[in-house]
Every structure is written in C-alpha cells, then in structure tokens.
Structure 1
Amino acid sequence: MTATRQHSLIDQFLAQTQHALETTFGDPRAQRPYPAGATPDIALDQAERRHAAGLMRINHVGEVCAQALYSGQAAVARDPDTRARLGEAAQEETDHLAWCARRLRELDSRPSVFNPLWYGGSYAIGLLAGLRGDGWNLGFVVETERQVEAHLDQHLDILPPADLRSRDVLRVMKADEARHADNAEHAGARLLPSPIPGVMRLASQVMKTVAYRL
C-alpha cells in the first residue's frame, strides 16, 4: 500500500505562492459557463464603457481578495470539514474571477494594478481569522460575503442600462455569495464583534475607490 505523502511547510509555502501568482498575474479558468455567453453585447458609449469597466474592476479585485482570504483561512483551519467548505467556495470564486476578467477584456480594460497588494492584505486577514478558530473563520466568511452581496446589489443598480452582459455576470455572482454566507452560518459561524464589520467596510471602501480607477 502506498503511503500518503505529507506536505512539508516548504511544500505548502510553494503551493500558496503559486496560487497567489496565478490569481494576481495568471488567467484562471472557470469550471462553469460564462453567464453572459448568450447575452447581446450592446454598444456602450465611451463614458458608459469606462464606468462599467471601473465597476467590473472592483468586482475583479473582490474576487482576488476572496481567493486570498479563503486560501489564508484554509491554510490554518483546524477542522477538515471547514477546509472543504472553504475549498468549495474558493472554486466558485475562481469562476467569478475568470468571468470578471473576461468582462474586463470585453470592455477593453484591465484588472487593478494593485492586485498583488490586495491579495497580500487579504491573505494576512485570512490567516489571522483562521488562527482564532473555525467559528471565527466562518464568521469572517459570512461578513465578507454579506458585504460583497450588498455591493453587488449596488452595482446592479448603477451599471449603464445597456450593459446587460455585466448584469448577467453579477446576478450569478450575487447568488453564489449569498449561498456561501448561508452555508457558513449553518456550519457554526460566530458573530463578529461590532468594530470588526465596520473596519471591514472601511477597508472595502478604500479598495473600491482605488480599484475603480486603478
């Protein structure tokens, strides 16, 4: 019988580094079909295209942060079931990342130049959350996903009316984020103390302001 290979700290470091590079500089592949694949690509004027691209760049950054957050949390999660839940959610976030990148290309735009910075900060938060225990780990998932769900709602309201393709992408993303939060709640997420959600919203607002343009 072949023994299962135990991954050393170096193995884990190299795997995490590869994941970071693929997320921030690579071209992740979605496992599910592109939600806007059959939606007409209606021509937008220059201002509408620039605005839509800014919003989709924010959403792309959000998915970069989600990849980092889940990766950091999974690295220190104690319970195998928690790690599995984080892995399942991360795969759907990979779909989101690929969809947002594709929509940015369709809008003749690009991801944020600060993606490595966003990734590093989110990974650190994920590690800290995971080290507090799985209940806190899942609590961060719930709060993160609820905040993302709220900003996706806002983006659906302020996208150019003709940008049907971005809307189709965001609707699927919103449904996924809501399900991730529900699953984390049912798995025993702890309610985060009141200062933490506020700090998370403030950090998110800084990210969105910068990512809209850069």
Structure 2
Amino acid sequence: MNPVTLRQVDPLRPKELHAGCPQVNVWRIEEKQTDINIAVHALMDAFNDPSPQHFVFVSNDTDLCPLLDALKKLEHIKTGVIAPVDGIYQHQATDLACRVDWAKKEIKAEELKAAQLALRIDSSVRTELKSSIRKPLEWFGAKELSGQIFETLFAAMEKRNKVYQWLEQQPVKNAIDGVPDLPSPAIDLLDDVDTAKLVLIHAQAYADYVSKNGKR
C-alpha cells in the first residue's frame, strides 16, 4: 500500500478529466502478484496430480479467465467460483461464471457471520501468535456504533486491551439507574443496532464515571 497523488473526480463532470480537477493524496492498494501466484500453484497442482481434483476460487477478478480456460481443458479438474460480493450493489462477473462447473453469485451476510472465527484467539491456541488477536470492531453488524463505543471507552481508558476487557467482562447488574442491564457481555451485543445502542449508553456512563472519579 503506497500513497500516491491522483486527480479528484469533478462531481459536475464525473466522466471528464480536465486540468481543473484538484489533486489529492490517496492510498493505492497494490496486489503483490496474487493472480500470478494463484495461477502458478493451481496449474502445478493440476499437472503434478492426475487424480480428480476440485478447485474453488473465491474471486470476482476476470484476470483469472485465462487460468480457468486452461483448467477447463483438463478432464480430471472441476472448478467452481464464489464471488465475494453482496449481490445487491455488486454482482458476479459473468466472464468467470461461464468458465467453471458451478458458480455461487454472492456471499450473504449471515454466511460470513457463521464462518467467522471466535471473538478472541489466544497465543496458547496458536503458538505462532505473539499475543492474543481479537475480532476487529469493523466486522460487527453495528460497526458505526461499535466504533463510537470503542472511541468513548478508549478516551477514558487510553489502552486498547482495557477497552476489550470492559467489552468482554460479564455485565454488572443494576449498574446504571434507569438504564436496562446488559443481558450478556457487551462484545456479544455489537451485531444488532438496538443492543449496540444500549452498550453505547453504558460506555458513555462508564466514561463519565471515570472522568469524575479518576481511572480505575
């Protein structure tokens, strides 16, 4: 990922590039030979192993078309493609779908949720990890509220680990007068907007408490 300077699109003339378009700095996300590596390894597996194989590609990149054409000529290879799109605002590339034995045109939100790892993976489980890793707050269903909750707590605690400890702890009953108790740890309530709003109320109340009584 590298910063580059590009011209901004003129909203009045979105399809016209002209000298008056202001220049802005943006992050350019570059692939590191991903397509080439996929193609090389797929073909090596196909030619080195004559037994029946089933290759599944999770991609919507038509750069894979030459690879799929080559695999289609091999009788012992079956191929499928899963498009990592929502099927509403983004759609599967037909050039990919017509070159494989089967195609899944979208990945639903509930499928992604069901396929996620645990909220936290400890280094004791994965020895190659230097420390525990946690599910990013951006991956929760109510991601905007999750961000507000994190910022509210971080302003009071100033440490990420303490924020996550607060989110993962068992809720305290009758913690705030006039506010419903959390039914489960806050981290479990961030996929739904209504329950995330309740967590935000608790987070704001805790932050207010810390500002008045000092850090705990």
The reply to whether TM is greater than 0.5 is: no
Which structure has more strand as a fraction of its residues? 2
| Greater radius of gyration (CA) | 2
Q: Highest relative contact order (Cα 8 Å, sep 6+), 1 or 2? A: 1
TM-score computed with the length of structure 1 as normaliser? 0.28
